[in-house]
A and B are shown apart, each in its own frame.
Chain A
């Protein structure tokens, strides 16, 4: 038996290292928009994720229901986001509340600039990132796919820069491979592609480009069968991770026979 082959088929992608933490999965999954908590938990399990994002909102004064009672804190690392914040001050406020909620110092920073596109406000994002890093937060920053902005966020001390593949919830996948490839080449901190993923192949493309991980929510939660899609996303991520390290063949304009050209019958 070829032991090398056996070993290879048993491996999983290397764990994801962010700051001083190591995570078993490179897929980070949101907890929004599921039809019910059961479906959410089944989808999270099928995705194999460890990091799950959550939002912070005013308590519904008429309901006992709380997401915290539905998430296994031993299994999942909760990463609070600042979704819905349109300036640095509000985002920082949410991070302080998150700390008070006992969620620790890790945050997914989003400072949005426009309600229709939900694209990030680069100036507010950078300001908030600087302040939060100075306050000891580990900041995973949602960004546009602008390489210069990504560098600025790295310089500001971001633990991870997370450029969007395409607008949040749009399902358009990876729109600017060139910019993402530049970001991946230029940054030293881990880059996670966040937002826009519509289906499994988008995750594979992101990983083939060299991303350290992918963060998504609607792509799973909004699918007709979220559990099957979560399963697909997990394997798509693994596929992309291996492909990125396998050294793909170059693209050619013309065909190149894969069977021997010698000894063909009738020649």
Chain B
């Protein structure tokens, strides 16, 4: 297992996890999110090939109600 920072909180992941495998574990539809890894956007086309490393800072965002 490796530890990363996911949306500002510590999160455990199997080593070798990709962005896709992380998103598969979340309750939200992967098509409804955008992902940043260490402040760089990971384009959707690279989700399955981007391997998450120990200590990565990951942000997974979506849309919410707002004015």
Q: How far is the CB of A145 from chain B (nearest CB, A)?
A: 18
Q: Which of B27, B39, B44, B62 has the most CB of A within 10 A?
A: B62
A55 on interface, CB distance cutoff 8 Å: yes
A10 to B14, CA, bound (A): 64
> Could you say which residues of chain A place their CB within 8 Å of the CB of B6?
61
A78 to B32, CA, bound (A): 14
Which residue of B has the minimal Cβ distance to A68?
B32
CB contacts under 8 Å to A, within B39-60, are 39, 41, 43-44, 59-60
> Could you say which residues of chain B place their CB within 8 Å of the CB of A69?
29, 32
Contact of B66 among A32, A97, A216 (CB under 8 A): A32
Q: Does the CB pair A59–B28 fall under 8 Å?
A: yes
A66-B32, A96-B41 as given contacts; A101 in contact with B7, CB under 8 Å? no
Q: Does the CB pair B63–A54 fall under 8 Å?
A: yes
> Could you say which residues of chain B place their CB within 8 Å of the CB of A66?
28-29, 32, 62-63
Q: Does the CB pair A64–B64 fall under 8 Å?
A: no
A97 to B28, CA, bound (A): 17
Contact of A30 among B26, B32, B39, B66 (CB under 8 A): B66
A129 to B44, CA, bound (A): 26
B36 on interface, CB distance cutoff 8 Å: yes
The size bracket of the interface on B is 20 to 34
Q: Mark B21-39, 1 if CB is under 8 A from A, else 0.
A: 0000011110011111001
Q: Does the CB pair A218–B27 fall under 8 Å?
A: no
Q: Does the CB pair B26–A80 fall under 8 Å?
A: no
Name A's interface SS.
Answer: mixed
Q: Does the CB pair B66–A59 fall under 8 Å?
A: no
A58-B8, A63-B27, A66-B32 as given contacts; A100 in contact with B41, CB under 8 Å? yes
> Could you say which residues of chain A place their CB within 8 Å of the CB of B27?
61-64
A57 to B60, CA, bound (A): 8
A98 to B60, CA, bound (A): 12
A23 on interface, CB distance cutoff 8 Å: no
Q: How far is the CB of B25 from chain A (nearest CB, A)?
A: 9
B2 on interface, CB distance cutoff 8 Å: no
> Could you say which residues of chain B place their CB within 8 Å of the CB of A119?
none
CB contacts under 8 Å to B, within A52-79, are 53-59, 61-64, 66-69, 78
User: Could you list some 24 contacts between A and B, CB below 8 A?
Assistant: A34-B65, A54-B64, A54-B66, A55-B65, A56-B61, A56-B62, A56-B64, A57-B62, A57-B64, A58-B59, A59-B60, A61-B7, A61-B27, A66-B29, A69-B29, A80-B63, A81-B66, A81-B67, A93-B39, A97-B36, A100-B44, A101-B32, A101-B33, A101-B34
Which A residues fall within an 8 A CB radius of B? 30-34, 40, 53-59, 61-64, 66-69, 78, 80-81, 83, 93, 96-98, 100-101, 103, 168-169, 195, 215-218
Known: A33-B67, A58-B8, A63-B27. 9 other contacts (CB 8 A): A32-B64, A59-B28, A66-B28, A68-B29, A81-B67, A97-B34, A100-B34, A101-B63, A217-B66
Which B residues fall within an 8 A CB radius of A? 6-8, 26-29, 32-36, 39, 41, 43-44, 59-67
